[in-house]
Amino acid sequence: MRMRKKKHCDERLEKCSSLWIKDPENYKGIWNELFRNNNPIHIEIGCGKGQFICQTAQNNPDINYVAIDVVPDVLVLALEKATAKNLDNVRFIIADANKLCDFFAFDEVKQIYLNFSDPWKKNKQAKRRLTHKNFLDIYKKLLKNGNLICFKTDNKALFEFSLNSFAQENFKLQNITLDLHNSKFEGNVMTEYETRFAEQGLPIYRLEAKYIGWTD
């Protein structure tokens, strides 16, 4: 579903400019200077309206978060949530995921979250999926051996595609669940989509993919 244009989006973005990073390429390798600490950095690709990233940042003040979305009219809502909560350990970028290597250095990102990414259901659209080999190759340029990608979706076909994709690209799969909300997994933070799906009783698929491709 296409997001409706938000009224006064540019002005609303500017009001949250302390958390909106307009020139992320300038911070490649020095994000800890921006956060003014040496805490680990986690990123969410496709943060949507920000429910997950804001709650996660609030729960984990000793971790720094960078949330990324390509749609300004979506990101502004996340920015406003974070600003209202006075969160100092989260920043936001308007960008496409294929630009990640322009923004982050190797081993600067300790964990990646992919929550309810667009499944791009047609086979000819597979290369646009955030768990396609093309994107995993980008993540591998950032992640050190042992770093994690945490992936959640309501789409069974995308989950099965992702299982194969991760396995083929030197990721070790762990904590796999086919029904997250009826599993023993603790500490789950829901996104807006997930809240809606949970109310409908739909299963949520989740996995963690640990990168094992690099050797010390």
pLDDT tens across 27-69, in order?
999 999 999 999 999 999 999 999 999 999 999 999 999 999 9
Q: Domains in the chain, ordered, with CATH? A: 27-211 (3.40.50.150)
Residue with tokens 């597979």: 126
Catalytic residue among 10, 96, 102, 118: 118
pLDDT exceeding 70 applies to what percent of the chain? 96
84 Cβ neighbours under 8 A, 6+ residues apart: none
- pLDDT surpasses 90 at 2: no
The answer to whether residue 69 is catalytic is no
Give whole-number Cα distances, 150 to 17, 61, 76, 154, 162, in Å: 28, 19, 24, 14, 11
Q: What is the pLDDT of residue 23?
A: 97
